Structure 1
Amino acid sequence: MSNQSIPSTESLTVEFKSDRKRYPDNELIEALIGLANTEGGELWLGVEDNGTPTGLHEAHQNLLGLPGLVAARTSPSLAISVTQHETGGVSVARIQVPKSRSEVATTSGMYLRRRLKQDGTPENIPMLPHERSSRASHFGLADTSAQPVAGTTLADFDPLERERLRQTIRQYGGDRVLLELDDEALDGALGFTTRTDTGERVPTLTGLLVIGREEALRERVPTHELAFQVLARENVAFNEFRRFPLLKALEWLETNFRPHNPENEVQIGLFRVPVPKVDMGAFREAVANALVHRDYHRLGAVHVRMDDSGLTVSNPGGLVEGVTLQNLLTTEPRPRNPLLADAMKRIGIVERSGRGVDKIYRGMLRFGRPEPDYSRTDHSSVILQLATVAADEVFLKLVVEQENQQNGISLPIDTLIVLA
């Protein structure tokens, strides 16, 4: 038995349970499952909701058998650890729950997860089928973008979007081998179709998102939406929502963004270097990343907003498992939608190496501006903020001179960070 301070309040990862009337075993199992299916955490048994320790019921003074009970009543078996602690003159139990890679259920088939209510307190709620699919994508256990879209046929592909696809490959230097393929072969190469048990070709989510008709997307993929807003002080200069297929959506967005992205020029030696309010390479990569890596199980638009403080790009679905704010620049690429990400790379829309975050960082640091800010990102959404402060012309001159000495090769991100 040891001393351990009890957290001050409940949270997504902390749960208090009173044990004065002996907390029921089945409710304890459900509470532990909710933690495992969310972010993991700890349950303090013998603690009131307000954080006051009132002690364990006499039936729970010895909890050596609790891990076995939990393992026996969960599927797959959930492994927990239990320690007892003395605090305030009473004994309480700290039950630590790991975050589970696969969904955990009670042996009766109940799936649960945790969420925060509007007042900030946590609660356990049922985990719905689409949430289970979303969770599998988060862990890289399933690729939603490779699945067929129920109720769709090849007629839901738009011939105009097929032509836009080929033009985009030429414009952005995509995989030119794709241009030699006929439509059926191109669909197969990019994963736009899959075959049913009867051998029929049907659209995948990737196919519908890239070359689908707008009405098919609106009806069959209601989670797909893009919003662009421009706010100047308290005035709304632009505020529109679209459900275009991805290539058309990116083209529409860039067309409407450019008038709000003024560009100056700086004389460096014999050359005049353009200095945009927002680097267009960083802008394209940020928006494409949001559309490609969003969680298509969750309702909510990808939002692109320009205001007085800068550009904000947000998308539903937090960072995937293994990617954190601390390792964004160093971890290996882990797309939430691998097939869609691969298709967009081959088309030429996103960075072929999968290091699109590097491009966003370079687009900021090269001009002596602050690093991209992902600090508002949480488990439910990724939020990127790019400050639109004035460029540091002295720093830009240093960078351009260094690049000229290397025959125009861009400086590595690490070098830019050091110089900054």
Structure 2
Amino acid sequence: MTTSFKLLPGDDPRIAEILALPESPSFDCKRVGSVDSALKAAVAFANGDGGVIAMGVEDASKATGRDRLYGLAEKPEALAELQRHLAGRVVPPLPAPPIVELPCVLRDGSAGQIALVSIAASTAVHSIQDGGTYIRVRNISRQLAAAEIIELGLKRGSATVVEAPVAIPFDLLETTAWRDYRRQRELTRPIDEQLRLLGLAKQDAAGAWRPTLAAILLFAEFPGELTNSKYAIRLFHYRGFQIEYTANTNLVKPPKTITGPILAQIRDASRAVLEELGSGVQVTPAGFELAQQYPVRVIREAITNAVLHRDYRLQSDIHIRIFANRIEIESPGSFMAGVTPANLREAGSRPRNRVLVAHLREFPEPPNLDAGEGVRMMYATMEQNLLYPPVYQTEADLGREVVVVKLLNEARVSAWNQVEVWLREHGSIGNVDLRSILHTDSHAKASKMLTRWVEQGSLTVVDPTAGNRNRRYRLASIGDRMQTLTSLFSHRPGKQP
């Protein structure tokens, strides 16, 4: 990271990087006199994707350069006070965060320290007792209204709409799906009584027993139509590599709508995708034939995840789009709190709708429902078939509250394996680095490969304003700013209190 700040003897090298970072959804600067303000930022980070607070550092809008370094001595007890508040005033409490103190020369020329406080993303929604609930909006911590707090809990997965009662007659759920489920579990009671005992019926505000949305999704023949909602899967098959928004659409055939109980949706959508791919080839706009060879297990797992982990509060169907070189599966919602494209492979997916997962297990021949293992299987299977790994995009990438997984119908070139190792070690790569890896002097060859990886979603540009020769690239699954912040906590000397 480039900066005009001049390091002095006694400055930790990270000081220059910290002063160059703008405040953002994942980074904030606080003087230690404002512990309450730091507490709000900590809660906002926990309610989002996590972040780092630089304590002892003035806001960049109020001072510049070394004049921002007030240090911890301004209020020596501030860090301990912040930790007490995280445990005692925050509901539910936040664990003690990692803290790194960095030596530096302060604004008055004396020796001192600042501190970096790392707040992890939480799976819960946190509030300050008598102080409100906060989220990060750009570079500020904004307090939420009561309705927004409920919405945040649903979005992050700490609550789910599928457990709410719905005013639908019980007899509309006596379907083939219910009979299969009842037979498998050897249930004999009437459906209304049985669903109450299974936790799939609850009392509404008037005290009447109603089936939950989960019961409707599991058993109803037309769950979306019954609830006036969008709970179906839409399948689109396109010629070529992109959607053409013209009068002469590039759809291979009219879109297909797949509805029914969610287990039937998973099975029918998987079958429909495989039928679309059944010819094995597709002709590109340039007239070339592309063989489409996706691992069946990966397709089924991606569809299963989309159905089970989607956010059913959002009025949108799941969209599956087949192109000549990829399949895209778009699911309404976001990852569960604490899960990101960067850690998904290691962490695995976390079920948003646990009740659906629990009851799908009880059907005859259920899909794979092992928490987290399916995602790891997808990565491993694509790798075994010499294909690029799945590419995940979220609201941060697309500007819409969706999760999109792209399965690329392209063989991994051997260079990619080396590039991936380089990126996980160094964070970013440039044309010169790639030429060194490839043992080539051709700037054009390296540039073409980098451009291709960006177009397919494997890489993203770190600094779009830089010239081609100086441009840097990173893995698309790793946020650049958070990667920088995380690096501040490792691989360099520092003091851990």
Normalization by structure 1: what TM-score? 0.66
Match in the other structure for 2:184: 176
SS at structure 2 position matched to 1:385: strand
Matched, 1:318 2:335: yes
Contact map agreement 2:235 2:319 (CA 8 A) in 1:
yes
Match in the other structure for 1:383: 404
Match in the other structure for 2:27: 14
Structure 1: segments with no counterpart, 5+ residues: 117-121, 266-274, 392-420
Contact map agreement 2:11 2:105 (CA 8 A) in 1:
no
Matched, 1:35 2:55: no
Match in the other structure for 2:133: 111
Alignment of 1:264-279 (within 5 A): 277-279=293-295
- The CA distance in 2 between the partners of 1:277 and 1:190, in whole Å, is 42
Kindly state the Cα deviation for residue 198 of structure 1 after the two structures are TM-superposed: 9.2
Alignment of 1:150-299 (within 5 A): 152-155=166-169, 158-159=172-173, 162-166=175-179, 176-177=184-185, 183-184=191-192, 187=195, 191-194=199-202, 200-212=208-220, 213-218=223-228, 224=231, 226-233=233-240, 234=244, 235-237=250-252, 238-239=254-255, 245-247=261-263, 249-250=265-266, 253-254=269-270, 256-263=272-279, 277-297=293-313
Kindly state the Cα deviation for residue 340 of structure 1 after the two structures are TM-superposed: 0.7
- Identical aligned residues as a percent: 15
- The CA distance in 1 between the partners of 2:345 and 2:196, in whole Å, is 32
Compared CA separation, residues 131 and 148, structure 1 to 2 (3 A): closer
SS at structure 2 position matched to 1:370: coil
Contact map agreement 1:43 1:96 (CA 8 A) in 2:
yes
SS at structure 1 position matched to 2:176: helix
Q: Return 3-12 or 284-293, whichever deviates more.
A: 3-12
Compared CA separation, residues 53 and 298, structure 1 to 2 (3 A): farther
Contact map agreement 1:225 1:302 (CA 8 A) in 2:
yes
133, 137, 145: which one aligns with 2:153: 133
Contact map agreement 1:37 1:112 (CA 8 A) in 2:
yes
Alignment of 1:367-382 (within 5 A): 368-370=385-387, 372-376=389-393, 382=403
Alignment of 1:331-350 (within 5 A): 334-347=350-363, 348-350=365-367
- The CA distance in 1 between the partners of 2:374 and 2:212, in whole Å, is 24
Alignment of 1:86-105 (within 5 A): 86=104, 93-99=114-120, 100-105=122-127
Compared CA separation, residues 277 and 57, structure 1 to 2 (3 A): closer
Q: Return 42-51 or 209-218, whichever deviates more.
A: 42-51
- The CA distance in 2 between the partners of 1:63 and 1:95, in whole Å, is 15
- The CA distance in 2 between the partners of 1:240 and 1:109, in whole Å, is 50
Kindly state the Cα deviation for residue 245 of structure 1 after the two structures are TM-superposed: 4.8
Contact map agreement 2:156 2:334 (CA 8 A) in 1:
no
Match in the other structure for 2:476: none
- The CA distance in 2 between the partners of 1:276 and 1:175, in whole Å, is 39
Contact map agreement 2:327 2:406 (CA 8 A) in 1:
yes
Kindly state the Cα deviation for residue 112 of structure 1 after the two structures are TM-superposed: 0.8
- The CA distance in 2 between the partners of 1:381 and 1:94, in whole Å, is 36
SS at structure 2 position matched to 1:55: helix
SS at structure 1 position matched to 2:44: helix
Compared CA separation, residues 292 and 375, structure 1 to 2 (3 A): closer
SS at structure 1 position matched to 2:49: coil
Compared CA separation, residues 365 and 85, structure 1 to 2 (3 A): closer
Q: CA RMSD in A?
A: 4.5
Kindly state the Cα deviation for residue 341 of structure 1 after the two structures are TM-superposed: 0.9
- The CA distance in 1 between the partners of 2:171 and 2:381, in whole Å, is 35
Contact map agreement 1:35 1:113 (CA 8 A) in 2:
yes
Match in the other structure for 2:141: 124
375, 390, 409: which one aligns with 1:357: 375
* Amino acid corresponding to residue 104 of structure 1 in structure 2: H
Runs of 4+, deviation exceeding 6 Å: 57-60, 196-199, 240-243
- The CA distance in 1 between the partners of 2:258 and 2:212, in whole Å, is 21
* Amino acid corresponding to residue 86 of structure 1 in structure 2: C
Compared CA separation, residues 68 and 23, structure 1 to 2 (3 A): closer
- The CA distance in 1 between the partners of 2:380 and 2:80, in whole Å, is 52
- The CA distance in 1 between the partners of 2:300 and 2:190, in whole Å, is 28
Kindly state the Cα deviation for residue 257 of structure 1 after the two structures are TM-superposed: 3.2
- The CA distance in 2 between the partners of 1:376 and 1:332, in whole Å, is 15
SS at structure 1 position matched to 2:387: coil
- The CA distance in 1 between the partners of 2:35 and 2:376, in whole Å, is 49
- The CA distance in 2 between the partners of 1:259 and 1:83, in whole Å, is 59
- The CA distance in 2 between the partners of 1:28 and 1:339, in whole Å, is 37
* Amino acid corresponding to residue 34 of structure 1 in structure 2: A
- The CA distance in 2 between the partners of 1:158 and 1:371, in whole Å, is 45
